[in-house]
Structures are given as structure tokens and as C-alpha cells.
Structure 1
Amino acid sequence: MSHHPSADQIVDLYDRHASIWNKLRANHFIDSKWIERFASLLTQSANVLDLGCGSGQPVARYLIETGASVVGVDSSKQMIALCSGQFPAQEWIHADMRTLALNRQFDAIGEALGIFQGETLYHASLDPREYAAQLHDHGFELLEHVVEDADCGGHTVWLGRRLP
């Protein structure tokens, strides 16, 4: 029988291990090919919403270095503190993405159950049909969908673009 931790337990895990996460993730960029492709689709100085931004390493850092303006959201206070310290010119919001309403539009949005420090770690997951429906309902075309990409640490990737 699998145990699914509560949202509070997950946030606590992130808070307790934020600095370790930041050190391990900063130079462990297994999803770089997808983030590079994502960034190549952005306009100059694009506004990007990074849901579940963690410590900002390496994804937000890469996007910032390409000239994007990042608004990061994470439920961990410690992760947001790391973001603010490392990238003070960007906007970092401590909030639960499931209930957050920013009431503004972004040019792009970036956002899997894994194990970290021996504990179950949740990133984000919807049924594939729900992802496709959400993209369509919000005016996006699906550019690519790869299930458990071996070149990306087994992550599943959804790449969409807002229709003109």
C-alpha cells in the first residue's frame, strides 16, 4: 500500500531540506533541453510564471539569464527565501498554487511524485486528458508531449504555446 503525504507534510519536507535541495538542484539540470526549448519560444523580456519554483535553481536562473522576467510561486517559505536572496530583482510569492489567484496574464507558465531525502516528494500531476483540456481551454496549442523522457530523468513533458 502506498502512502501519499498530505500537503502540509510536503511543504514541511521542502522547508526542512531547502538548502540541500538548492545545492543538489543548482547544477543538476536534467531538464535543460526542455527548458532551453521553452525559452527559445519566448519573446524578448517575456513574463514567466514559475509554479513550484523551489529555490529558483536551475530553471528560474536560466530563464532570468535569457532575459525573462520571472514571478515564482512556491508553498515553502524557505524555498522562497532562497529565491529572494539569490534573485532579488524578480518577484517571489509564498503561496499554495492550488488556491492562488494572481489576476494577471503571463507570456509563459512553467511547472511529478518523486523521492527526496528518502521521503515522498510531490511536484505536480494531473491526468493527461486534464492537462490537454486545460491547455486547450486556456488558448494553448500542444507542441509536444513526451511521457517519461529518458533524456530528462524520466520526467513527463508538456510543451504548449498560446495561440495568437
Structure 2
Amino acid sequence: MTAAAEEIVDLYSRHADVWAITRGDVLRGSEAMHLERFMDGLPSGGTVLDLGCGSGRPIASTLISRGFHATGVDASPGLIDLCRTAFPNHRWICADMRGLDLGRRFDGVLAWYSSFHLTAQAQTEMPEVYARHLEPGGTLMFVGGPRRGTAMGEWMGRPLHHASLDPQEYRAGLAAAGFVSVEERVLDPDRDEGARVWTARRKASD
């Protein structure tokens, strides 16, 4: 399973153009609802760090269209190139989100359909990464699963790794990193395919 998780970057790198076309430009299902909740927690014209930004569409593009300033991070050079071409006035960084330290803070941090590609062990370390990049009082949103475990999908004929922690592990990790107002919601209430959307706020002072 660890090997499949490590292959994720190469998989998306080799098929960046295909992924961009497959993902498309339109928010799907309940994505718009959750993204609205995220944006409602940000100051007007605020800054957002999009971890696992992909091609920049449709998540970062929606944020940009609403007047937010985006910084996107993705480990796929091909996907970052697409972001730089489409949105040259925003910042796009090719880097691994694990252990990331950009040396600055943002009003919001978003990891939409991205951090759940990491192993469960790697996910236990992500709250510190999130906190490191959030202003006091800043908003975090990411997608996880309903319970600890690994779920294997397939894309382009290759294994596609997903993993999750138990809800209490997410809550404990976020609390230890200084997050409050932690909330878990079903990603798509109409279908409940298992994914959960986690929202939290970094405490107002260090």
C-alpha cells in the first residue's frame, strides 16, 4: 500500500493533461456547497493555500473568481505548469505537501481531494503542516474518510491509493496542533459514498 501511495505523484505527473480534462472546469455534486462554507470563513480578498491544487480547476479557479489570492502546491510538475499558464498572476509551487514549510501564513488552507492520497501515517503529520501555514483564526478544510483504512481505486490502469484516519484521530491531531471548532460532515449527503469534509479553525492566538 505504501508503494501505491508513493506512485501517486508519478501517476498524476505522467497524465497531467488527461487529469485536467477529466476533472474539468465545473464543481461537482456538493463541492460548491462545501467550498462556499470555506470561503464564508475567509476575509474578503484573503489568501488561500491550496494543497494538492492539481490543474487549478475548478477549485482554485473558483477561489480566484471570487477575489481570493491563491498559492497552489502540487507535487506534479505537469499540473503546476498548467496552473502557471492558466493563472499567471497567482503563485504555483511544485512541492510535496508532507513536511511543507513555505515560511508564510494564509487566511485559509484547503486540501481538497488531495491529502487523502497520503498514507495514514503521513496524514497524522499533516495537522502541523496545516497549522504552520494558517494565520491565527484561519480556516482549514480537507477531505478524509469515515474510518481508518485504505481504499484502492484505479486510474489510467494503475492503482490509485486513498487512506483515512479514524475520526477521533483527526480530531486529536487537529486539537494538538491548535485547531478549534472542528467539524466533520458527509461530503455528499445524497449519496454518502464515505468521504468526509473536515473543517477547523486555528485558534486565535499562539
Verify same fold: TM over 0.5.
yes
Shift of 1:96: 0.8
- Equivalent positions of 1:12-161 (< 5 A) are 12-30=10-28, 31-111=31-111, 112-113=116-117, 114-122=153-161, 125-147=164-186, 149-151=188-190, 154=193, 155-161=195-201
Shift of 1:147: 4.2
Deviations 1:112-160 (A, max 9, x none): 3544334333467444334223432343323520245344873310011
Whole-Å Cα distance in 2 between the matches of residues 91 and 78 of structure 1? 15
In structure 1, the gaps of 5 or more residues are: none
Q: 1:28 to 1:124 in 2, by over 3 A?
A: farther
TM-score by length of 1: 0.84
Whole-Å Cα distance in 2 between the matches of residues 13 and 73 of structure 1? 17
TM-score by length of 2: 0.69
Q: 1:134 to 1:152 in 2, by over 3 A?
A: farther
Whole-Å Cα distance in 2 between the matches of residues 61 and 67 of structure 1? 10
Give the number of the structure whose residues are more often strand, by fraction.
Answer: 2
How many residue pairs get aligned? The number is 162
Whole-Å Cα distance in 1 between the matches of residues 98 and 188 of structure 2? 26
| SS class of match (1:101) | coil
Moved more, 150-159 or 85-94: 150-159
Shift of 1:3: 7.9
In structure 2, the gaps of 5 or more residues are: 118-152
Moved more, 139-148 or 26-35: 139-148
State whether residues 186 and 192 of structure 2, in contact with CA within 8 Å, keep that contact through their aligned partners in structure 1: no
State whether residues 52 and 123 of structure 1, in contact with CA within 8 Å, keep that contact through their aligned partners in structure 2: no
Task: Give the RMSD, CA atoms, in angstroms.
Answer: 2.4
Which amino acid in structure 2 is aligned with residue 121 of structure 1? Answer: L
